[in-house]
Structure 1
Amino acid sequence: MQLKVKAIILLIPFFTFACSNSNVKEYKVLSGHKSDILTLAFSPDNKTIASGSSDKSIKIWDIETGKVKLELDGHSNNVSALSYDLFGKNLASSSFDSTVRIWDTNTGKPIINFREHVLPVNDVKFAPNGNFIASASVDKTIKLWNKKSGKVIEDIQAQLTSTVKTKSISFSPDGKAIASGSTDGSISLWDVFTGKLIKTVRLDTGVINTVAYDPDGKSIAVAGASQSIKILNSNNLQEKFDLSGHSRNINSLAFSPDGKSLISGSTDKSVILWNVETGKKVFSFNPKLGAVNTVAFSNDGKLIATGGSESDVKLWELSSLK
């Protein structure tokens, strides 16, 4: 009897590991950075993916070959966020060096070096129409600015206290609003055209690390230090689901293109895929990258990208989203 019990105990971890990874298959490992991967962005045509690192560099990779297509150097501190424009011709990057840069993705040359922030920039996003950019900084502002001229259109004073900072921003799909998540656990909605606050709610998440609108604009996903993900109604910021499954900070969220699924990456070294319609976990896996800092969905929904406290980017093929 004792031998049978031991055999069962040994088989359980293997069975759990196998089931956890049966939904994804490693497609490519992109090696070339010298330090942590902090941010990832797929190009709109799914042919390339951009990665930003604490080694201060940005690399644009050819997904089919797994080779570096362009290396963008210019930042003097961590690259905190990346965002492609609508057509993939320009890439915006934010950095802890307090600047935002726009790059030509054909030549790798910088087009604009935006220096209107006075402290590190945590996040940057192209508007859905691609004509202007939002950047959020430790200086307590969210700046909306023209991508061609670099001139500020709206200067949102996003925080009311000296200690609260904006960590993450996301445009609504129609481009009319920006959601921002802050270090005090507050989620706020801002009118893009007036810069005025629409609504704010303080959640029990602790520090908010990441916010994301879903593709139809009806929901906003929010996560951070609390180890759970809040799915909120985008109109009134009321909670629809609370997704629990991670055991440490959640650092990154990304919706699938159809809006039915959400992926999350955590300091607990795991990635979880969720069914947003039911609020249930579909599967989880360990990409073996240490703490997972960033996740991204390809625009055709076929690939997941992960980056973490090691220097590799890993691409994963999805076998099923059911």
Structure 2
Amino acid sequence: MITESDLADWPKISTDNAGRLDDGNVFIGPTESEARLLKLKHFVFADSQDLSKRPLCYDSSVDGQLLAASFEISDVLIWRLCDGLLVQRLQHQGHAYKVNSLSFSPISRTLVSGFDDGSAIVWDIPSGRALLRLEGHSGPVDQVAYAPNGALIAAASGGDKSVKLWDALTGTCIQSFDFDTWGQICKLAFSPDSLRLYVEATMTIFVHDISTCACTMKIQGSLKAHNSFSISRQGDRIAHHGSDGPKKVWIYSTVTGGSDLTLHHPQSLSSPMAFSPDGTEVLVSLHADKTAVTYDSRTGKLRRTFKLSDSGLRCPAYSPDGEYVVIGTWGGNLEVFDAKSGALLAKLKAGGHLTDIQFVPDTQTLLLELKDKPPRLCYIQDIMRMR
């Protein structure tokens, strides 16, 4: 039900295109053989105007209240996560290019979208107005990112191999720098203090100093090691797994630019990886024997092993409080573990081929990205209440 207070905050809030509740199954028990089969609801977010459109990009707001997504069109849909209601559909007249990337501002009232035509648009979410149009790239804008302090917006294009920094208030281009690498831009992120920018391409990750735009660090990867980089939440370290050393993971300091630690394992390790929220451990996959292991990221000591039920690790995520590790498997399962003991707590079907999982900031809500399917939300607290 939409209230007067809702309309005051979100004049265009609507039940049309609202997220829908779907049924799912979850297995809960001390072991897989003893697990009980229970029903679990989850939210699915799609553009009901054309359900055939697949999602190209999405982002959740810093306060965990909103989800934005675009579905092979120039429109951006924004939902309120507490009830799934659509609060805004951002539309730019005469703008027919698809959206490649989205990023909320720290205060969650504005959103920047990167387009195929080389531009980016800054939107006021409540009113739906386009505040700024950032132009200058000669290739598609692959990634956009707001700085945590809200002062800057970064936009990157693999087409023209450049990154531009914009004043988030005026839309003035402050800095621009080129990078020499092959492939698309996979990720663009600022450090928590907004002093460094991380540019992750297909095979290489670059670290740039914001004040000078100088490249302070470059780590070369390999085509054979997809998703081979992981950045700690503190932004001070990067873990890298490369095919040139399959039994090793290197941990680098983004402050000094040097190598902090090399992790050794008797079996071949594989990507992707994940740092714990406090940065004290790093999780790595052992695809051959269907397990994942965590190492102390300071000492290199092996901490624990997570035994997967069906296949290798596809995508991992720690809950923001560090209590849970959630692993998406190649078999399409989500497996929830106790992060401290390594015990399996629950297993559920994701509903498709998982490509990414992430926790909504500061919540126990898990956002699932599925190949050619709309994003969906899974509530870890609901699963824990069933135990």
TM range (shorter): 0.7 to 0.9
Given the alignment of the two structures, is residue 182 of structure 1 paired with residue 242 of structure 2, yes or no?
yes
Deviation at 1:305, TM superposition (A): 0.6
Deviation at 1:207, TM superposition (A): 3.3
What's 2:276 paired with? Answer: 214
Q: Quick check: which has more Rg, 1 or 2?
A: 2
> Alignment partner of 2:332: what SS?
coil
Given the alignment of the two structures, is residue 144 of structure 1 paired with residue 207 of structure 2, yes or no?
yes
The amino acid of 2:43's aligned partner reads: Y
The amino acid of 1:237's aligned partner reads: G
Match of 1:25 among 30, 41, 44: 41
Match of 1:305 among 355, 367, 384: 367
Change (3 A) 1:148 1:51: farther
Deviation at 1:234, TM superposition (A): 0.9
Contact 2:191 2:235 in 1 (8 A): yes
What's 1:253 paired with? Answer: 316
Match of 2:350 among 279, 287, 291: 287
Deviation at 1:105, TM superposition (A): 8.9
Q: TM-score, normalised by structure 2?
A: 0.62
> Alignment partner of 1:167: what SS?
coil
Contact 2:277 2:321 in 1 (8 A): yes
Q: Distance in 2 between matches of 1:132 and 1:197?
A: 18
> Alignment partner of 2:273: what SS?
strand
Q: Distance in 2 between matches of 1:108 and 1:311?
A: 34
Q: Distance in 2 between matches of 1:250 and 1:259?
A: 19
Deviation at 1:193, TM superposition (A): 2.1
Given the alignment of the two structures, is residue 196 of structure 1 paired with residue 255 of structure 2, yes or no?
no
Let me know the Cα RMSD of the aligned residues. Answer: 4.2
What's 1:48 paired with? Answer: 66
Contact 2:230 2:239 in 1 (8 A): yes
What's 2:78 paired with? Answer: 61
Contact 2:27 2:346 in 1 (8 A): no
Match of 2:327 among 264, 268, 273: 264
Q: Distance in 1 between matches of 2:165 and 2:52?
A: 20
Where in structure 2 are there 5+ consecutive unaligned residues? 1-24, 29-34, 91-110, 119-138
Aligned pair count reads 299
Contact 2:229 2:241 in 1 (8 A): yes
Change (3 A) 1:95 1:258: farther
Change (3 A) 1:274 1:105: farther
Change (3 A) 1:277 1:104: farther
Superposed, which structure 2 residues align to 1:81-230 within 5 Å? 85-86=147-148, 115-120=178-183, 121-139=185-203, 141-147=204-210, 151-158=213-220, 167-183=227-243, 184-185=245-246, 186-203=248-265, 204-208=267-271, 210-223=272-285, 225-226=287-288, 227-230=290-293
What's 1:235 paired with? Answer: 298
Q: Distance in 2 between matches of 1:112 and 1:198?
A: 30
Contact 1:33 1:312 in 2 (8 A): no
Q: Distance in 1 between matches of 2:254 and 2:145?
A: 18
Q: Which deviates the most, 241-250 or 62-71?
A: 62-71
Q: 1:177-209 CA deviation, whole Å, 9 max, x = no partner?
A: 22223345432111212211122235435431x
The amino acid of 1:265's aligned partner reads: G
Contact 1:220 1:232 in 2 (8 A): yes
Deviation at 1:297, TM superposition (A): 0.6
Where in structure 1 are there 5+ consecutive unaligned residues? 1-13
Q: TM-score, normalised by structure 1?
A: 0.73
Deviation at 1:306, TM superposition (A): 0.3
Q: 1:10-50 CA deviation, whole Å, 9 max, x = no partner?
A: xxxx995994554x53134234784466x764321112335
Q: Distance in 1 between matches of 2:37 and 2:166?
A: 38
Q: Which deviates the most, 117-126 or 268-277?
A: 117-126
The amino acid of 1:46's aligned partner reads: G
> Alignment partner of 1:30: what SS?
coil
Deviation at 1:77, TM superposition (A): 7.9
Higher relative contact order (CA 8 A, sep 6+): 1
Q: Distance in 2 between matches of 1:145 and 1:33?
A: 40
Contact 1:41 1:83 in 2 (8 A): no
